[in-house]
Chains A and B, each alone.
Chain A
Amino acid sequence: MKKQSMWSLRLSTAALVLIPVAVGVNYIGKLIAAFLKLPLWLDSIGTVLAAMLGGPIVGALAGAINNIIYGFTDPISFVYAITSVAIGLAVGILFFKGYISSWGKAIVAGLIIGLVATVVSTPLNIGFWGGQTGNVWGDALFAFILAKTDSTWLASLLDELVVDVPDKLLVVLISFGIFKGLPRNVAQLYNNNGKIETLD
Chain B
Amino acid sequence: MKSISLYVERDSFIHDVDPITKLLYILFALLIPIILPTFTISFFCLGISILLLIVAKVIRKTVPVFSFVFLVLITVVIIQGLFKPENETVLFQIGPVAMYKEGLLYALTITLRVTNIVSSFLILVLTTKPSDLVETLVRKGMSPRIGYVIVSVFQIIPEMMSSMGTIMDAQRARGMETEGNLFVRVKAFVPLLGPVILGALINTKERAMALEVRGFNSRTPKTYLYEEKKYTHSKLIQSAMLFLVVGAVAWRIFV
Chains A and B are bound partners = yes
Are B157 and A143 in contact (CB-based, < 8 A)? Answer: no
Are B153 and A129 in contact (CB-based, < 8 A)? Answer: no
> When chains A and B are docked, how far (Å) is the Cα of A152 from the Cα of B194?
40
> When chains A and B are docked, how far (Å) is the Cα of A186 from the Cα of B198?
9
How large, as a class, is the contact surface on chain A? 35 or more
Residue among A28, A130, A143, A174 with the highest chain B CB neighbour number at 10 A:
A130
Are A25 and B6 in contact (CB-based, < 8 A)? Answer: no
Are B157 and A71 in contact (CB-based, < 8 A)? Answer: no
Q: Is A139 an interface residue (CB 8 A)?
A: yes
Query: Which stretch (A36-44, A92-100, A112-120) binds chain B?
Result: A36-44
Q: Is B200 an interface residue (CB 8 A)?
A: yes
Q: Given contacts A14-B205, A36-B178, A72-B6, is CB(A24)–CB(B160) below 8 Å?
A: yes
Q: Given contacts A32-B189, A130-B107, is CB(A76)–CB(B208) below 8 Å?
A: no
B residues with CB within 8 A of A: 4-7, 65, 68-69, 72, 75-76, 79-80, 82-85, 106-107, 110, 113-114, 117-118, 121-122, 125, 130, 145-146, 148-150, 152-157, 159-161, 164, 178, 182, 185-186, 188-190, 192-194, 196-198, 200-205, 207-209, 211-212, 216-217
19 contacts between A and B (CB under 8 A): A13-B217, A17-B152, A24-B153, A24-B156, A25-B196, A28-B196, A38-B185, A38-B189, A61-B146, A65-B153, A72-B6, A72-B7, A73-B6, A75-B122, A128-B110, A129-B72, A129-B110, A132-B79, A174-B193
Given contacts A28-B160, A68-B150, 10 further A-B contacts (CB under 8 A): A11-B145, A17-B208, A20-B149, A36-B189, A45-B197, A65-B150, A74-B65, A75-B118, A134-B72, A146-B84
